[in-house]
Amino acid sequence: MAFKKMFDRSAARTADPTPLPGRLIHIGPFKTGTTTVQSAFHRNREALAEHGIHYIGARLQPTQAVKAMTGVGSSGEAQQAGQRRWAELAEQARHSGARQAVISSEFLCEADDAVAERIVDSLGGRDDTRVVVTLRPLASMFPSQWQQFVQSGTTLSLEEWTEAVLTHAPEPRSVALFWRRHRHDELVRRWAGIVGPENLTVIAMDPRDKSQLTREFAAMLGLPDGLLVPAAEVTNRSLTWDEAEAIRAFNVEFEDENARRRAAGKEPRRFTVDDRLAAWRYVKLRTPGVDERKMLLPSGASERVSALANEIVDNVLASGVRVIGDIDLLRAVPAADALRTAEGAPTQVTPALAATVAMGVYKAQSRSSDD
């Protein structure tokens, strides 16, 4: 009953139009509309400056600098360069002169407790800092993150990978990374423990409201309606089931080829994560066919994910943080029967899709000389 009462209060809240002082840190996590938010801030820098808002950095988001701070996916010279870049960004935040400095990166959600503290302190301290977390249902995170890891090279099927995540398997490495990103109650606890629950806002995303995020960020920053508009061409769409399976088939063949080469005493072929992401960005430029399936949670995982989603939402409500939107939407899990029906449809990799995948690989391999 206590959770119900708290939900009733939280769900009824709307963004406070009073501008927030100091710094606003948007930490994602991944696949929660971050590209839309970042595009809206990036393309409207001049207009934002006129309203006293400084969007920190010069790009869509400071990926290299944040990775260097969290230590995830960064090492050696790249990490050192990223740390230097973070020091520059932090200096901007501390001395921008704007009434509000804003930084957004989904990679911030990968920070552990100690790193999150260092990040907040480096940006200027905790007293006048607000943190924003944007959330979608846990059930949608499994297929969304699996297709991201497929793009990075995983060979596991969605069912295999989901089972590994739910059982906290030691391998692959993406299992621990998934929970760092998407144990949303722990993410909220971590950052609320630094800035205080009264200074952390959760936006529960409504898939029916396409302008929700930019509207709520504008309200939190005291900006006029319609100022935060993302670039129309900026997108980070998810792969379709057919696209993901075509790429995963490439990953399997690539690994098999390297196994044969090692057995023959030859050096394995290299196709770096950067190469892969460049290749699959090309695939994302195509318009999927109307009959290509969207990825859904495996039916065998629905009950376990539902229980976890309810636990996470209850913990977020109990944390005392500010909630915007209908947080009960985050409990949603598709019915197992509907999932099983969708799973029954065959994968269809058309010749055109296969050609697009091949061209993506070609362009990635020759991108240094590509115009």
Q: What DSSP string runs through 155-217?
A: ---HHHHHHHHHTT-S-STHHHHHHHHH-HHHHHHHHHHHH-GGGEEEEE--TT-TTHHHHHH
Range from 242-246, 317-321, 339-343 carrying the lowest mean pLDDT: 339-343
Report the C-alpha gap between 349 and 351 in whole angstroms: 7
Report the C-alpha gap between 152 and 170 in whole angstroms: 18
The predicted model gives 194-201 an average pLDDT of 97
Mapping DSSP to helix (H, G, I), strand (E, B) and coil, where does residue 133 land? strand
The top-scoring range by mean pLDDT among 78-92, 115-129, 270-284, 301-315 is 301-315
* Neighbouring C-beta atoms of residue 273, cutoff 10 Å: 11
Does position 339 have pLDDT exceeding 90, yes or no? no
Task: Answer yes or no: are the C-beta atoms of 332 and 221 closer than 8 Å.
Answer: no
Range from 93-107, 241-255, 282-296, 331-345 carrying the lowest mean pLDDT: 331-345
Range from 66-70, 177-181, 315-319, 345-349 carrying the lowest mean pLDDT: 345-349
C-alpha distances out from residue 255 to 65, 153, 155, 248, Å:
31, 9, 8, 11
pLDDT tier for residue 111 given thresholds of 50, 70 and 90 = very high
Paired with 200 in beta bridges are 131
Q: Tokens standing for 10?
A: 């939280």
Compute φ and ψ for 202, nearest 5 degrees.
Answer: -100, 125
Per the listing, tokens 């992401």 go with 277
Sheet with 53-55: strands ordered across: 53-55, 100-104, 22-26, 129-135, 200-204, 322-324
Q: Tokens standing for 97?
A: 């002169």
Does position 21 have pLDDT exceeding 60, yes or no? no
Task: Answer yes or no: are the C-beta atoms of 119 and 108 closer than 8 Å.
Answer: yes
Mapping DSSP to helix (H, G, I), strand (E, B) and coil, where does residue 150 land? helix
Q: What type of residue sits at position 360?
A: G
Does position 109 have pLDDT exceeding 70, yes or no? yes
The H helix count followed by the E strand count for the chain is: 16, 6
The fraction of the chain above a pLDDT of 70, given in percent, is 92
Q: Tokens standing for 238?
A: 């998810």
Residues 6+ apart with CB under 8 A from 119: 25, 69, 108, 111
Where does residue 245 rank: exposed (0-12), middle (13-18), buried (19+ CB within 10 A)?
buried
Q: Tokens standing for 304?
A: 């376990």
Task: Answer yes or no: are the C-beta atoms of 70 and 115 closer than 8 Å.
Answer: yes
- pLDDT at residue number 234: 59
pLDDT tier for residue 140 given thresholds of 50, 70 and 90 = very high
Handedness of CA 36, 135, 343, 246 (dihedral sign): positive
Q: Tokens standing for 116?
A: 């999150």
Q: What is the CATH number of domain 2-141+173-233+298-334?
A: 3.40.50
Per the listing, tokens 């770096």 go with 272
Q: Tokens standing for 23?
A: 């710094």
- pLDDT at residue number 36: 94
pLDDT tier for residue 233 given thresholds of 50, 70 and 90 = low
Q: Tokens standing for 176?
A: 């621990």
Mapping DSSP to helix (H, G, I), strand (E, B) and coil, where does residue 291 land? coil
